[in-house]
């Protein structure tokens, strides 16, 4: 089994594409998971992803043997307001056009959090319906819709229930086992048991408990069962991307990308490759 490795640009949210591509190539990554670039998350708005600059971006990726492992959106489908959910579906469509241009196989979306006055069952239905609708649109572009286990639906079983209700062959999961570990101490083996063949992309990060809070630490320095994760991925013969998610955008106090990204690459080659 041979997993490929990428990193999320949450690690370097203000960097330009040339900066991102340079560190990915230098540190022997196979791909890049696009989240923020130059501080923007609606990536279709950036010059780097339109016209002549898009052609240059695509050429630079090919020249450095890099692929886009996943295109991350901020789409959240938890709102009781159908108009609001519709706005996110429109954003998903725009991002899917870009994903197709970049040959990214999937679009990351969220469920996310049960809103005031709403309940879990209704929220699950709204999310499932939105994912099904967006996946029908993006399928024509050759792009799948991948929901990340996150927020009130972080547990693997919760995400599996949404997928079951969505009932779309073009929907899958961005599995972030650290999300469910932090919320419920869910172990990786339970995650693969619940999600199995729906897993399309995997986030990896390490964290440790500090004064009743989980804090992100460099890979191998925390409490997350990284080697158990490796074992269960091997068990299901996972051969897609393992993507390092260093959440510098949301946690500015953690180490900079130029420390964390080389560190992860070295750690991966020593422990996983």
pLDDT at 212: 86
Contacting residues for 47 by C-beta, under 8 A, at least 6 apart? 53
Residues 6+ apart with CB under 8 A from 73: 41, 91, 92, 95, 107, 108, 109
pLDDT digits over 198-239, tens only? 999 999 999 999 888 999 999 999 999 999 999 999 999 999
What is the predicted pLDDT for the residue at 120? 98
Neighbours of 47 (CB within 10 A): 12
Give Cβ neighbours of residue 41 (< 8 Å, ≥ 6 apart).
Answer: 35, 72, 73, 74
Q: By residue range, what is the domain housing residue 234?
A: 4-271
Low-confidence residues of the chain, pLDDT below 70? 1
**From residue 272, how far is each of 173, 176, 264, 266 by CA, in Å?**
22, 17, 11, 10
Question: What is the reported pLDDT for 1?
Answer: 53
Q: What pLDDT score does 107 carry? A: 98
Question: So what's the pLDDT on residue 93?
Answer: 98
Residue 211 is predicted with a pLDDT of 87
Query: Which CATH number characterizes residue 80's domain?
Result: 3.20.20.150
Nearest to 264 by CA among 239, 250, 238, 245: 245
Domain count of the chain? 1
With beta carbons less than 8 A apart as the criterion, state whether 165 and 125 touch: yes
């Amino acid at each position: 089994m041979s997993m490929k490795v990428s990193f999320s640009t949450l690690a370097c949210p203000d960097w330009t594409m040339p900066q991102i591509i340079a560190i990915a190539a230098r540190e022997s990554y196979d791909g890049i998971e696009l989240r923020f670039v130059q501080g923007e998350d609606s990536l279709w708005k950036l010059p780097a992803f339109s016209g002549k600059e898009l052609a240059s971006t695509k050429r630079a990726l090919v020249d450095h043997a890099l692929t886009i492992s996943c295109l991350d959106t901020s789409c959240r489908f938890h709102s009781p307001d159908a108009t609001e959910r519709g706005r996110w579906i429109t954003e998903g469509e725009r991002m899917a056009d870009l994903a197709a241009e970049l040959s990214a196989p999937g679009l990351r979306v969220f469920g996310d959090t049960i809103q005031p006055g709403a309940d879990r069952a209704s929220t699950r239905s709204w999310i499932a319906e939105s994912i099904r609708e967006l996946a029908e649109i993006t399928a024509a572009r050759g792009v799948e819709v991948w929901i990340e286990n996150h927020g009130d639906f972080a547990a693997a079983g919760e995400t599996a229930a949404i997928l079951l209700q969505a009932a779309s062959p073009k929907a899958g999961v961005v599995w972030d086992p650290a999300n469910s570990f932090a919320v419920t101490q869910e172990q990786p083996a339970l995650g693969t048991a619940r999600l199995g063949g729906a897993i399309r992309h995997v986030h990896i990060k390490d964290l440790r408990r500090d004064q009743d809070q989980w804090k992100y630490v460099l890979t191998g320095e925390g409490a997350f069962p990284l080697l158990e994760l490796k074992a269960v991925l091997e068990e299901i013969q996972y051969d897609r991307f393992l993507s390092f998610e260093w959440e510098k955008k949301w946690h500015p106090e953690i180490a900079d990308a130029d420390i964390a990204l080389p560190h992860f690459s070295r750690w991966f080659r020593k422990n996983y490759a």
